[in-house]
């Protein structure tokens, strides 16, 4: 049994490209001195949150959330809808990354209302892509596809009106739709969307303000392609995609994608019979994910470690890892990952001859 990429996040680049201050429309109506002061303070909080989030540690993410909460309160006080929308989007992304799906959905839906009212379709696309990933993590595939498809339409509409468009956000929509189709078992359709996304990433100009976001999105797309090819049994091809994603993520210091790439290379090593190498990769990924506060990723890697120890005949050790993974998946609402872990526990009990116990876990 192998568990591949369940984590779909990378903080600001959770599902697409960075929305910068220049992408937020300036308020047209006159404002008071108090509102201007609040606006300035809100921007400082947003900037501070951005720096903290990029540190990538669980503690820094919590501190970033505090700064975003400040920005949200200030935006509500001064009725600064553009900054308020951005703060809600970013806080929703961090909530989702930390496994807090309910507050993530609440904030993201508020952000979507604001971006629609502002007619900021690039912002709306970013929110919809993030909503889609949350729905996918919750196992709501139809809602996920609808959100990503709407985001794709907005990104393409922006391109039609400006002559350039947000090709990176468009690539994010295509990648996310490819992932959902892969989860639904529609592999050819998944590959079609993922290859379209990869082509877009490679076509994006290398202007400095786009390069970082584009490289992050390309790494995510490469990981997704590797996952699909692995599920089709093409392990060497999958490993090539994972290694490309690993190199790209290390080049730009993206430790989230680095951890996922290492985890997935470990899964390939396990499948090909090199269990010790798989354990080495998984332990590297586990330490990274714990440092980053990546709870869903941590649960996936713990489950993978359990599977390897089960294959090695160390059944009690396998159960130890599975039992560490299960409450994490349940706490963050990742039903697909929880089901995979439950299946692993059932397999261990079945191997131990405890058929009734195995059946109980299979039913869960």
Report pLDDT for 164.
52
Q: Give the Cβ contact number of residue 51 at 10 Å.
A: 12
In the numeric block, the tokens 């976001």 are attached to: 213
pLDDT tens by residue, 226-280: 999 999 999 999 999 999 999 998 988 888 889 999 999 999 999 999 999 999 9
Cα–Cα dist 146/65, whole Å: 28
Report pLDDT for 4.
41
Report pLDDT for 292.
86
Question: pTM for this one?
Answer: 0.81
Report pLDDT for 254.
83
Report pLDDT for 211.
64
Which parts of the chain fold into alpha helices (H)? 33-55, 58-78, 81-97, 101-117, 121-137, 141-162, 167-183, 187-203, 208-231, 235-251, 255-271, 275-292, 295-311, 315-332, 335-351, 355-363
Report pLDDT for 12.
41
DSSP code of residue 27: P
Residues of the chain with pLDDT under 70: 1-29, 159-166, 205-212
Question: Using an 8 Å Cβ cutoff, are 3 and 267 in contact?
Answer: yes
Cα–Cα dist 209/130, whole Å: 21
In DSSP notation, 40-66 reads HHHHHHHHHHHHHHHH--HHHHHHHHH
Q: Residues 245, 246, 249, CA angle at the centre, nearest 5°? A: 85
Question: Using an 8 Å Cβ cutoff, are 46 and 71 in contact?
Answer: yes
Report pLDDT for 70.
93
Report pLDDT for 360.
87
Closest to 175 in 3D by CA, of 209, 152, 141, 142: 152
Sign of the torsion formed by the C-alpha atoms of 221, 227, 231 and 235:
positive
> Six-digit token pair at 42?
């809100």
In the numeric block, the tokens 């786009």 are attached to: 210
What structural domains and CATH numbers belong to the chain?
11-22+30-293 (1.25.40.10)
Rg (C-alpha) for the chain, rounded Å, is: 21
Angle between helices 187-203 and 167-183 (to 10 degrees): 160
């Amino acid at each position: 049994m192998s568990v591949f990429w369940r984590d779909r996040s990378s903080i600001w680049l959770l599902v697409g490209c960075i929305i910068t201050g220049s992408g937020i429309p300036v308020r047209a109506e006159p404002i008071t001195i108090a509102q201007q002061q609040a606006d300035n303070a809100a921007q400082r909080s947003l900037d501070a949150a951005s720096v903290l989030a990029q540190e990538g540690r669980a503690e820094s993410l919590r501190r970033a959330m505090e700064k975003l909460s400040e920005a949200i309160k200030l935006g509500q006080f001064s009725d600064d809808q553009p900054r308020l929308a951005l703060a809600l989007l970013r806080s929703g992304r961090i909530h989702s990354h930390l496994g807090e799906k309910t507050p993530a959905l609440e904030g993201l839906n508020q952000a979507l209302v604001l971006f629609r009212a502002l007619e900021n379709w690039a912002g709306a696309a970013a929110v919809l892509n993030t909503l889609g990933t949350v729905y996918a993590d919750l196992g709501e595939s139809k809602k996920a596809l609808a959100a990503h498809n709407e985001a794709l339409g907005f990104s393409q509409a922006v391109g039609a009106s400006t002559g350039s468009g947000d090709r990176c956000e468009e690539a994010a929509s295509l990648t996310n739709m490819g992932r959902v189709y892969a989860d639904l078992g529609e592999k050819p359709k998944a590959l079609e969307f993922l290859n379209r996304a990869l082509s877009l990433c490679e076509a994006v100009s290398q202007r400095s303000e786009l390069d970082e976001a584009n490289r992050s999105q390309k790494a995510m797309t490469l990981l997704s392609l590797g996952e699909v090819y692995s599920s089709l049994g093409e392990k060497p091809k999958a490993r090539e995609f994972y290694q490309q994603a690993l190199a790209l993520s290390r080049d730009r210091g993206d430790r989230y994608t680095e951890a996922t790439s290492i985890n997935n290379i470990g899964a390939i090593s396990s499948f090909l019979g090199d269990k010790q190498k798989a354990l080495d990769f998984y332990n590297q990924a586990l330490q990274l994910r714990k440092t980053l506060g990546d709870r869903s990723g941590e649960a996936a890697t713990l489950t993978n470690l359990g599977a390897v120890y089960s294959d090695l005949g160390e059944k009690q050790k396998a159960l130890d890892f599975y039992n560490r993974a299960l409450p994490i998946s349940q706490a963050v609402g990742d039903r697909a990952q929880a089901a995979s872990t439950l299946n692993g526990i059932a397999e261990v009990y079945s191997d131990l001859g405890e058929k009734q116990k195995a059946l109980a876990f299979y039913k869960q």
